[in-house]
Amino acid sequence: MLGSVLAGLTPLTLPTTPPLVLRGRAFDAGRPAVMAIINRTPDSFFGGNRHAQLDSAKRALEQALELGADLIDVGGVRAGQEGEPVDEAEEVRRVVPFLEWARESHPDVILSLDTWRSGVALAAADAGVDVVNDTWAGADPDLVHIAAQLGAGYVISHTGGLPPRTDPVAVTYGDDPLDVVRDVVTTLARGAHAAEQSGIPPERILIDPTLDFGKTTRHSLEVLRHTADVAALGYPVLQALSRKDFVGESLDLAPEERLEGSLAATAVAAWLGATVFRAHDVRETRRVVDMVATIRGDRPPVHARRGA
């Protein structure tokens, strides 16, 4: 038995994706990226990330950069339908002045705008937005074209066809548990192709399985297990896992208690080929993804003195 085990040992092969390139910086398996979340909202589902006041948002950005964030993702509307109504003018008021301050104060920072509205992205043009994070899967068909016009990257998401700010109810993708994975992979492939056709280079296209959106907890867990199949599409993979409901329902925990579960999901996604991680907890996520990259062999240890 030992002989057969030794004979079967082969070099480790793990999923990889091409690098994401923004502002001349490349992020890949050896240099994973942490996307810090700054919600300019009073009603975010996680109380630790409500920055409706401008000074609070500014402090959050400074702290995120100090803790190791590579990208800053700024949103002005709560994703779920429980939040207050926010029209386009109010969303612009919440996010654009902050983005303009961030660009002026930190000229080299990589800024991401979390919106589904093309008008909001256009209003943020002077801030030099680097990524348009379209979390509602092209609900506004003009948004991808505005992103291309701005020279920004673009996030392709999967929401199961739900319109913005719709919570999933009685969602089904078929009798086979893998049907949701097939739908995710197909939708992301089509969206990435459309983004390229709109003029966005592939190295600036991120694909996001978008767990929780249009999915039950069982759906999200199945898709997470199949992160490698998403990575096989050949674009950088973004996983937005932080403190989400699939973590809370898996462990029966409120958002404030979901850090460890989020980090476990992050480690699995990183092992399976995701390289960009949207997170509330920057320092902890930074350490996890760097450690996984080192275990995978994509990133060398900072020191390797033990036993040398």
User: To which residue do tokens 């080929």 refer?
Assistant: 273
Catalytic residue, from 278, 286, 296, 299: name it. 278
215 in active site: no
Cα(289)–Cα(307) distance, integer angstroms: 25
Catalytic residue, from 244, 258, 286, 299: name it. 244
Cα(244)–Cα(261) distance, integer angstroms: 9
Active site residues: 244, 278
